[in-house]
Each structure stands twice: as structure tokens, then as C-alpha cells.
A and B are shown apart, each in its own frame.
Chain A
């Protein structure tokens, strides 16, 4: 079910205009949908043949639910390609829209490792029949294909793509990002609060967790930060609220979007219900989402409903930066790299490992003191991280 508006939660299929077996082209109308007081259309996100209709006429589906399945184009040369069902879940006007090019990619289902190996060895994934589950292409399929190609013919040297020149059309994902970010900067009065956090204890916590085996899942700094943010958001519910047209929507759930760079764009998979998750659960859920996003697979519902976003550039050499708020959220946290910096502890100058974080706040929802209080809370938690393990 496509999201036809940011506040839409469900839609009712009024009438299917296509039946199982019908071929459709991208943009063709598949069905009429009713939401609230509006009667709308469901457009096909890509070309293909309707192989299954899951939501009958008159039935209601949540946003992000699969309402029908389109199978990919059936050209001869892809006959061997594992038929990857393409879910008709094109969310519109939401961060999840950026999911579209990935979800609708005509390349077959493959593991992230297989994709990387394929790219390095110049193998076209579409020419490989995967041996994995549901025909998923695995690394060994790619290496086998690479071997047979080199044996059969002298393969041309892998040409690295020439640097782009001239006018280049933006991908749909980039277009979406461009539009949404422009709207956000235009409509939201942003202000910024920065704090510096001593991460020494948090780094030692990771080591302690590993050595004592308290948390079996491998915990990264990002996971520790997510957990601390989740607790801070519960203590400062206003930062977890959403702008609702001259009103505030307080959110019980703490759903944290994690800005994730992907090829030619950015996705924001959402960790739902962080208020209920332990550090270990956050680590495993975040890792699974990250892998899905990079592998190009996720359900649309995994991209929707964030109440707060973290943008972490800590893996790059960045001291601090500011993020653009994802409406209707109240704030976004920009996380810089942990670096050795001078720290004053008990009146003495020492070298500490510190991290700068900047909170971009929607001034319609938050004022400066509230933004500062949130960062103080976050600092307290990360500098005394025992709370992150017992909570």
C-alpha cells in the first residue's frame, strides 16, 4: 500500500483495474484506493506481470503492506534469472520513497557480499542463476561465473566508469532527497546545539561487554549511541514528538531512523520500539537493518514511522556537522568522529577520547534550553554508560 500522504496510515482498495496475468508498465494505474476522504490511484512502481493480488477489493491494508506482486520483465536473457518478486509498495512523499529504485532494481536478489564480488570481478548479476534460498545469488555463484567467463573467453579488462561530465539526471532517490530536504529547510526553523562528550567510558564498556560475554552480540559505538539516545528521548519526550500542524504529537514509541549511505543516495531504515530494546537487541536489530539497506532489501514499513533520526559520520574524519530535520520529526542528531582531544578532569588537563554531537531542532517544537537538556542527558548517559546495560 503506497503512502499517499505523510499522515496516511491505511488505505482501502476500491477497485482493481488489473488482474493476475496482466502486464503493466511503470506508472500504469493498478487500482483505485480510498484513504480518509480522498479517492486515489495506485500506480505501478515498475513494469512486470501481475502474479498475485493479496488485498481484495473492499479490503483495507496498512501503509507499506504488500497489496500485489509484480514479477519482473520476462525477456529471454533473464529467463534464468531467479524470478525476484517485485513488491508493489511504492511509498510516496516519505523518506521511504528513496527505497523505490532499490526495491525495483531489475538486478536479481543477491547477498551484499555477492554484489561486491560481482562488481569487483565485473560479473553481471543478471546472468547468474543463484543457488541460495529462493534463487538468491551468493558469493560462490559469482566466483563460479567469473571463472567460467575467463575460461571461455579473454574477458575485457574491467573498465572503471569514466568520471561523470556534463549534465547528469538525478536518480529518483536523489530527486526525492532533493525535494524533501529543500522543503525541510524551507519550512522548519532550524537551530543547532552542540555538545562534546567524553567517550572513554563508553569505549571501555564495549570492551567489557565483549570480554565478560554479558552481551553476545557485537556492540559498536553506533549501537551504544542509539541506546543512549533512546533513553534520553524517553526522558525528554518533547524531542521525540512530531509536528502536527500547529499541534504537537507526543509519540509513545521511540523509533529511531539511522541515516545510511547507499550507492547514489541515502536511506533511513528505522529501528522501531527502541524504548523496549536492550543494548544487545538494538545491536542485532541495527545490524540486520543496515545489511538489508545495503543489500537493497527491506520492507517499506522498515523505512517509515521514525520519531527521531541519527546521522553518524563518526567513521569519517569529521569533527562536527549539522543535519537537516526529517519532517515531521522534532530533531536530528549529527554525530562526529571520536578523537583524542584535551580534556579537563578533576582540574587536570589530560587527553580524552571525545565526540561532538550536534542536535538540529525544530524551533516550533523545541527551544534552546530543551535542546541543551537533551544533549546534557545524552552526555550523562554516555559518560556513565552502566545505565545503558541495565536499562
Chain B
């Protein structure tokens, strides 16, 4: 049993491609145990990304119309939008022992987000069948899409704080036509600062993933 923390890196505004390259680098280092678990907290400029399950048609041409770059990436899930006013978290975590369970990992990420929303007085919850975090049963406030290689995670989650939701309305988000997204801005007054939300999410993440975890020798 070892007590260890997650190293949290608050990177501020970062280009999507650069963040992806950084994740790849950290993932290799984490796999080789050259680094402890990492949490990258960033904000991106407008970008659409397509997960494994996405069809380019899901973008409905919004990328061309709005001049938003598109990345097809190796995470689970459909198409989504990242942009200003959104807290993006990329955990580079080595899953060990009982934690080697994809759904368990997804549920723990949901717990982190639900806790973060609660920190700002927003009552968010899970959906019985759809991964992600929801408010009021109708609108999704945070999207999750992860990649796992050799049980080291990358990609992660996006929590809308003051995101311009029209970017989502222009596409079929998460393979769910008609899905409505929401943001903390629609539920909190005054609107929390993006930095404060990122910090709260980091604390929640540290609490969920950083405490007293048994370190298992990689098989």
C-alpha cells in the first residue's frame, strides 16, 4: 500500500493537437513508471473531435460552415465540441488491480464531475444508460470519451462552464440526435471562473484517484 498523489498540470489555453501529443508522451512515461499519475487541465480553442463511434456526417458540415478544425481521435464515443469556457481534463492514470474495469473508470470520472458541479451548487447526476453527467435529466453538462492502452488512460472529459452551446447544436453530439447540452452558466449565479472550476475538478479528482491506492506491479 502506498500513498501517492496525482500530479495535476494546469496548462491553460492549449492547442488541441499539442495537448494530444503531450498526452501521448506522458502516457508512454506513465506506462514505464517514470511518472506518477497525471491530470492535465486545459482549455481549447474551438475544435470538433470525432471518437471511434462517430460518423463524419454527424458534423452536418458545421466544421466547414463555422471554420472549426476537426480531429478524428482514438477515444470512445461520438462527435463532440471543445472550445473556450470549457474545462477539459485528461487523466493519464495507470489502472491497477480492481480498477482495471472500463466502466468502473467511467463511473469514477462521473463521480468527479458530479462532485465538481456540487461544489458550485449544481445538482448533477448520471443517466441510467448514457455515459456522461446530466442536469435535470434532460441536458448533458459534461461529456466523457476515453482511450486506454496497456491500462494507462488518456483522453478524458469536458465540463461546460460557459461554453457557447451553439457549436453543439450545429452537430449531432455523442451519436444522440437532438441531445441538448447545458453548462454551469445556465445553472449558477454568479458564473464561476473557469480557473476555479478547473481547480475544484482537480481537487475532486485527487480525492477520487489520488488517495491510498494499492500499487500493483504491472503484469
Report A's interface with B, CB cutoff 8 A: 4-8, 12, 14, 32, 34-41, 92-93, 179, 183, 245
Contact = CB atoms under 8 A, between A and B. Distances in A.
Given A14-B52, A245-B107, A37 B131 contact: yes
Interface stretch (B32-40, B42-50, B97-105): B97-105
Interface stretch (B72-80, B133-141, B183-191): B72-80
A39 B103 contact: no
B51 interface: yes
Given A41-B149, A41-B150, A245-B107, A36 B74 contact: no
A39 B101 contact: no
B100 A37 contact: no
Given A37-B76, A38-B105, A39-B75, A93 B149 contact: no
B146 interface: yes
Interface residues of B, number: 27
Contacts of A38: 75-76, 102, 105-106, 145-148
A32 B150 contact: no
Contacts of A32: 52, 74
A37 B107 contact: no
B121 interface: no
Q: Which of A8, A35, A36, A41 counts the most B-chain CB atoms under 10 A from its CB?
A: A36
A15 to B, nearest CB: 9
Contacts of B76: 34-39
Contacts of B131: 36-37
B20 to A, nearest CB: 14
B114 interface: no
A273 B102 CA distance: 28
B53 interface: yes
Nearest to A41: B149
Contacts of A41: 148-150
Contacts of A183: 98
Contacts of B105: 38
A32 B101 CA distance: 16
A39 B104 contact: no
Contact of B145 (A5, A12, A37, A245): A37
Contacts of A7: 103
Contacts of B100: 92-93
A36 B103 contact: yes
A179 B107 CA distance: 21
Given A34-B76, A36-B131, A8 B52 contact: no
B114 to A, nearest CB: 13
B144 interface: yes
Given A5-B103, A12-B52, A39 B148 contact: yes
8 contacts: A5-B101, A6-B103, A14-B74, A35-B102, A36-B76, A36-B131, A39-B51, A92-B100
Given A37-B131, A39-B75, A179 B146 contact: no
Given A34-B52, A36-B131, A38-B76, A6 B148 contact: no
A250 to B, nearest CB: 14
Contacts of B101: 4-6, 93
Nearest to A4: B102
What 8 pairs between A and B have smallest CB-CB spacing? A37-B76, A5-B103, A34-B52, A38-B76, A5-B102, A37-B131, A5-B101, A39-B147
Interface centre among B51, B102, B155 (most CB of A within 10 A): B102
Contacts of B155: 39
A129 B33 CA distance: 47
A182 to B, nearest CB: 9
Contacts of A4: 101-102
Interface in B6-32: none
Nearest to B147: A39
Contacts of B147: 38-40
Contacts of B103: 5-8, 36
A5 B100 CA distance: 8
Nearest to B143: A37
B21 to A, nearest CB: 18
Nearest to A187: B98
B171 to A, nearest CB: 17
A37 B74 contact: no
Contacts of A34: 52-53, 76
A32 B100 CA distance: 16
A37 B98 contact: no
Contacts of A36: 76, 102-103, 106, 131
Contacts of B53: 12, 34
Interface in B54-91: 74-77
B146 A39 contact: yes
A39 B100 CA distance: 14
Nearest to A40: B148
Given A4-B101, A8-B103, A39 B52 contact: yes
Interface centre among A6, A40, A92 (most CB of B within 10 A): A40
Given A36-B76, A38-B76, A39-B75, A5 B104 contact: yes
Contacts of A37: 51, 75-77, 106, 131-132, 144-146
